[in-house]
Structure 1
Amino acid sequence: MRKILVVGAGQSGLQLALTLREHDYDVTVMSARTPDEIRAGRVMSTQCMFHDALQHERDHGLNLWEEQTVRVEGLGVSIAGPDSGRVMDWVGRLDNYAQSVDQRVKMAGWLELFEQRGGKLIIHGVTTADLNALARMYDLVVVAAGKGELVQLFDRDPARSPYTSPQRALSVAYVHGVGPRPEHPDFDAVRFNIVPGVGELFMIPGHTLSGNCHIMFFEGVPGGPLDCWSDRPGPGEHLERMLGLMKQFLPWEYERSRDAELTDSRATLTGGYTPVVRRPVGELPSGTAVLGMADVVVANDPITGQGSNNASKCAASYLDSILERGDQPFDRAWMERTFERYWEYARHVTDWTNAMLRPPPPHVMDILGAAQENDVVARRFVNGFSDPTDYQHWFMDPDKAADYLASLPTRT
């Protein structure tokens, strides 16, 4: 039985570990925290997983919270004008619903499920020195911990990484008490609010420790009015500051959120990171090669909500590559091929996400404007969040965008 070590207990690492157990691999996961410590900790992220990624979980019996989690049935776009009114506002329906489960809930539950399915769990923070000593005991070591010392094993790929600094200042609050959008009171949708030159606010229906909730998520342009979190305010002040910014820049979202309350005392988060693509193979001091996955090797800004989706799809791709390898060695050449197979998908997500960080060019504004008038355009845009490879055919290129819009039937 082949022995595999997965370092990190997030979406990608645990999904890979759990699915490898189905094929009787001897799998060990190293996590810095116990399930109870994860549940008692601070929120770790925002996330909204779309149909294609959710299906990976369903296929392997990992969708433990699907029945109780609110269904996200649409995605809407609003653009604020100079007077804080809306110059654009529309919502498109998803062909299949999305869902967002607090990672404190999911990762704690998956760690417990991993042990129930015969996996070996070691609770220990891992340093490079630790991994150097452990690696020789395994046929393959996968590093899925996107933060900390181990990331330094993987060199930045400058040809695939256009940015050298964070492109947004991030702030998050999980809350109860947000009312429905009056434009669509009969279904829940992610709302993507854009304040040109200032930043974005996402309102994401989700599920947390205390039940269904909303995730309020600001992305601020560095140096602008939403880049105001360096003092790391306490939870109550954090929420009040977010509500104040909503009232100033996005009053339509403030009106339904004015009575919001934090879901718990650890429901806020601030930060920021540089979008980066790293080389997939790291080398330990002993010369042993280790394989990076998901955020370790492709870390996109969360402006397109693809972090957990990428992680799920990376785990599914790596699973296929491992199974196909059979008894052959997991050498450096195989690791490179395994990543490039995933990159054939992830490059489209990276290109789209990097483009969304820049001011929208005229052809993108044409598409968003057309979506307000034409549900066909709106649906194609919002369903691309499940399969972003579609954007290359019509959204990313001005000529393709013009051809697509021109091909639409004239509305009478």
Structure 2
Amino acid sequence: MSESRYCEVADLAHAREQLSEIRHHIHKHPELSYQEANTAELVAQKLKAWGYAVTRNIGGHGVVGSLKAGTSARTVGVRADMDALPIHEQTGLAYASIHDGTMHACGHDGHTTVLLGAAQQLAKTRNFDGTVHLIFQPAEEAGSDSGAVRMIADGLFERFPCEAIFGLHNHPGVAAGTFGFRSGALMAACDTVKVRIAGRGGHAARPHLAIDPVLVGSSIVMALQSIVSRNVDPNEAAVITVGSFRSGFAPNVIPEDAVLEMSVRSFSPAVRETLEKRIRALVQSQAEAYGASAEIDYISGYPVLVNSEAETEFARKVAEELVGPERVIAPFPPIAGSEDFAYYLQERPGCFVRLGNGEGRPMLHNARYDFNDDNLTVGAAFWTRLVERFLSEARA
């Protein structure tokens, strides 16, 4: 099959208005993790109308649409996430969220719509030889026990075999329609640590009769900064951020306890292990040095997202064919954010792609964020072309 017969962005121009309407509807009716029933039903109905074999309720509200063309036994999976965030929208858009405190601040409405656009085009042309599984996943934002974990546990890859799996996320700050690729570690592992410091409360005028947990917590916060600078190889990347420090209720009272919560990010299993070991040891030793005690709840989150080399190179070539090398960034810089697509990549080879959402636009998880509709057709064309190419080439 010649390259010219694969999908081009212009092939999706007719669908722009329809895809915008779908995306705006999803944006207006956001659903939090584990609650995506209406979004999943919309997806399932669209897929069914286009001729897909549709399976619902995989790992919760997960939906898989499967389509076979030709006679090949080859298979490929493409995933989009569907859930929203607990953020009160401040965009002022005509299609802004109607649910107070819930909005699509990460672009999952766009990811879902882009894959639906590809689904419609693939069903229309059937320009491939094999089976494509389109995976619409709930609960990516959960942080732990996420939609990816639940779908895999529910037999995703046994029920819907995939030689490789691909996913995509928009990236504010990069020009719309620009693709980013990086083989190896692209996104960080993210763990959450909660520390409760038990001191001894007392009068602010008699600190010698108390054990001040605010002082202990402050010492811990400062000491934590030494871990990345002194325990992690300077050639490696790691982040420890204390995002919450709560203690006390009055200026003249030394409180009984204090609670710290931190986010810990890393790009390799070895560094991740070092960070946990050092955080545990440092917190305990600092607390003991002041006569206090500390309880640590170390919650493992998403692992490092590691793109496989061959699939990343393949996806990069597809993007260069589609939009030209001038709109492809490779290698894309590592990202300290985390993503549960990492669990799929532990099971199957694949690639997670970044797609620019526009320069100067609000960042992800911002109350003024909105997915860029200019990406709907280019994203749908990319997925269509990738599936066509993957399922039309001889196995390496």
What is the TM-score when the length of structure 2 is the normalising length?
A: 0.30
Larger Rg over CA atoms = 2
Which structure has the higher relative contact order (CA within 8 Å, separation 6+)? 2
What is the TM-score when the length of structure 1 is the normalising length?
A: 0.29
